[in-house]
């Protein structure tokens, strides 16, 4: 066992003494040492229930014959970090999380890991660490929140009933009382936000990749099932250690293609593009950005999920969950191992009934193409990403006038002050991985556009990114970013921009000679943040089309 390095032999007497100082009994030194990386925090609804799940994981580890050690991992709530300086830190924490898990596991020579996680950047950070370490790992995502309840059959969700409600109130569509009702009911308790936002999309994709047990991606945070999954995961990690089943044997090219197809079939968050690219890189799997678009053209969207659709995570869970989606996708899914020990096709075959009102069959899809499209053009030579499942038919092709802003705050002020009107294309730049730094989410401006009734007449493009809750014609991840001199930096107020999602085009309608002249006048801006670790992050982070990863190069 790896842990023998710190617990066996005469020269490890000091190490054993320190371990005994933590309470480890002599009988435990012959057992696998299992680390439980937990992102419990009182700050995030998706994580407040983890103390309970920790108990069940620990019970499972000890029942399986291992010895459990807990260590903490930080978490940032994107919703709370949204719209202010805090959002600069969200995406970069993904790298911190991967580095922290690696550091503890290597320094203490742990035999295996249970990764207890839930929200947006925490789950991919954990998976990056698993792929990098390649020691036995299993992931437990803490589960989605129940939808809020209102009068009659009204269901509330976090994004549409807070961010968009804020804009509807500003526009005079709802009054202060209704706004307060939204605030009070949108988040009824523990769990990740109820729709197919980034946290829940990543939980689903973790299960699809084969790195968590069946139903883990959809079982509600408040459910007894989630406790049982936590216990079973604790037991299973010991078996994975005993059989030396490591993440890279599961995180194959086939696994990533399956994950992309499930994402496309459900119309999931565009942030998953960044995260799957980053995880694949750690796993040594070649996964170019173009793969997402290639698969999107042959993978129909089978579900209509909140925020762009009608169904919530609780509906998807009872309809068949991830296994139900795999079953409906049929021969589009490739066989691949999972941490349970059965393959993806065996998992799909185990589902007897799928509620086809929630997860439709291939011959009756919600849309003919998957939920994500990758666009190219003279604005985005290396690509841009749009969640096309959230775009209305009227806005799939659009031409408008550029309104340029060099920060999210400037754009948000213009939207809330009524300076953005029908026919505009809002351009938010210098918000990419380097320029932000941290590639902030633009949920506030996109929700404001929707809430003010401009979703079918205004587009938004950015080198930043979007929340999984974003809907409407919002194009993000534009690469190269403005801070690197990408063409988005050369757009000027009043330019015409053409968006053509069916043909995967994003074009600035300015001739090449004029753009070349503008480039000669462009100079790189001063960094927005010059101190702290984000200043270091900005120097080593790569472009969005590579997953916005950090390198030593």
Q: Which residues make up each annotated binding site for Mg(2+)?
A: 78, 120-121, 441
Instruction: State the Cα–Cα distance between residues 77 and 86, nearest whole angstrom.
Output: 10
Nearest to 476 by CA among 201, 274, 205: 274
Sign of CA dihedral 64, 230, 233, 100: negative
Output Rg (C-alpha) for the chain, integer angstroms: 23
Instruction: State the Cα–Cα distance between residues 527 and 439, nearest whole angstrom.
Output: 13
Nearest to 149 by CA among 177, 175, 176, 188: 188
- End-to-end CA separation in angstroms for the chain: 33
Which residue blocks in 186-286 are alpha helix, DSSP H? 198-209, 224-242, 253-266, 271-283
Structure tokens at 423: 């026919």
φ, ψ dihedrals at 469, nearest 5°? -85, -5
Strands 474-479 and 459-462: parallel
Q: How far is CA 192 from CA 17, 36, 46, 62, 145, in A?
A: 41, 20, 4, 28, 5
Strands 148-149 and 137-141: unpaired
Question: Coil, strand or helix: which one is 372?
Answer: strand
Please answer whether residues 333 and 263 qualify as being in contact, where contact means their C-beta atoms are separated by less than 8 angstroms.
no
Instruction: State the Cα–Cα distance between residues 157 and 315, nearest whole angstrom.
Output: 13
Instruction: State the Cα–Cα distance between residues 115 and 130, nearest whole angstrom.
Output: 9
Instruction: State the Cα–Cα distance between residues 323 and 91, nearest whole angstrom.
Output: 29
Nearest to 273 by CA among 288, 294, 258: 288
Question: Coil, strand or helix: which one is 220?
Answer: coil
Nearest to 28 by CA among 60, 56, 57, 69: 69
Instruction: State the Cα–Cα distance between residues 205 and 255, nearest whole angstrom.
Output: 10
Given the residues 223, 233, 304, 467, the one annotated as active site: 467
- Tokens 């400037």 sit on residue: 410
**Cis, bond preceding 307 (omega within 30 deg of 0):** yes
Work out the number of other CB atoms within 10 angstroms of the CB of residue 109.
17
* Residue 13: exposure state from Cβ atoms within 10 A (0-12, 13-18, ≥19): exposed
Instruction: State the Cα–Cα distance between residues 2 and 108, nearest whole angstrom.
Output: 9
Q: Which residues, 6+ apart, have CB-to-CB distance to 350 below 8 Å?
A: 214, 323, 342
Per DSSP, 141 falls in state: E
Structure tokens at 493: 């107020």
Q: Clarify whether 467 is annotated catalytic.
A: yes
φ, ψ dihedrals at 104, nearest 5°? -70, -45
Active site residue ranges: 467
């Amino acid at each position: 066992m790896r842990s023998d390095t710190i617990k066996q032999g005469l020269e490890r007497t000091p190490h054993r003494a320190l371990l005994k100082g933590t309470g480890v009994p002599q009988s435990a030194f012959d057992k696998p040492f299992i680390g439980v990386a937990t992102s419990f925090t009182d700050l995030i609804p998706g994580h407040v229930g983890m103390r309970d799940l920790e108990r069940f994981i620990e019970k499972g580890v000890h029942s399986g014959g291992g010895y459990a050690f807990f260590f903490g991992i930080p978490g940032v709530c994107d919703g709370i970090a949204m719209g202010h300086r805090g959002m600069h830190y969200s995406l970069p924490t993904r790298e911190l999380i991967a580095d922290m898990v690696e550091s503890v596991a290597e320094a203490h020579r742990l035999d295996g890991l249970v990764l207890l996680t839930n929200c947006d950047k925490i789950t991919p950070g954990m998976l990056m660490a698993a792929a990098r370490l390649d020691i036995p790992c299993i992931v437990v995502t803490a589960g989605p929140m129940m939808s809020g309840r209102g009068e009659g059959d009204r269901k509330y969700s976090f994004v549409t009933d807070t961010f968009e409600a804020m804009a509807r109130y500003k526009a005079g569509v709802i009054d202060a009382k209704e706004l307060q009702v939204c605030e009070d009911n949108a988040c009824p308790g523990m769990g990740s936000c109820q729709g197919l936002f980034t946290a829940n999309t990543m939980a689903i994709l973790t299960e699809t990749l084969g790195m968590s047990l069946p139903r883990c991606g959809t079982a509600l945070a408040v459910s007894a099932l989630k406790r049982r999954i936590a216990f079973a995961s604790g037991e299973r990690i010991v078996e994975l250690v005993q059989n030396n089943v490591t993440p890279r044997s599961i995180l194959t090219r086939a696994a990533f293609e399956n994950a992309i197809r499930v994402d496309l079939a459900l119309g999931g968050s565009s942030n998953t593009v960044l995260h799957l690219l980053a995880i694949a890189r750690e796993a040594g799997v070649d996964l170019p950005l173009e793969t997402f678009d290639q698969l999107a053209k042959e993978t129909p969207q089978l579900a209509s999920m909140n925020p762009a659709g009608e169904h919530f995570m609780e509906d998807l869970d009872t309809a068949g969950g991830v296994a139900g989606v795999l079953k409906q996708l049929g021969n589009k899914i490739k066989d691949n191992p999972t941490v349970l020990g059965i393959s993806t096709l065996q998992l799909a075959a185990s589902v007897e009934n799928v509620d086809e009102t929630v997860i439709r069959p291939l011959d009756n899809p919600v849309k003919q193409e998957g939920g994500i499209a990758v666009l190219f053009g003279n604005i985005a030579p290396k690509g841009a990403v749009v969640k096309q499942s959230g775009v209305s038919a009227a806005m799939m092709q659009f031409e408008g006038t550029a309104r340029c802003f060099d920060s999210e705050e400037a754009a948000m002020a213009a939207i809330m002050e009524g300076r953005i009107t029908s026919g505009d294309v809002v351009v938010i730049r210098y918000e990419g991985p380097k320029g932000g730094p941290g590639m902030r989410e633009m949920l506030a401006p996109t929700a404001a556009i929707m809430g003010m009734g401009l979703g079918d007449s205004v587009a938004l493009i950015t080198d930043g990114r979007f929340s999984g809750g974003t809907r409407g014609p919002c194009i993000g991840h534009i690469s190269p970013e403005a801070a690197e001199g990408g063409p988005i930096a050369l757009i000027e107020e009043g330019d015409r921009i053409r968006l053509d999602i069916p043909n995967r085009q994003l074009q600035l309608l300015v001739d090449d000679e004029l753009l070349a002249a503008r480039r000669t006048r462009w100079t790189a801006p001063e960094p927005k943040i010059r101190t702290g670790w984000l200043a270091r992050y900005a120097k080593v982070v790569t472009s969005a089309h590579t997953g916005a990863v950090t390198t030593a190069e």
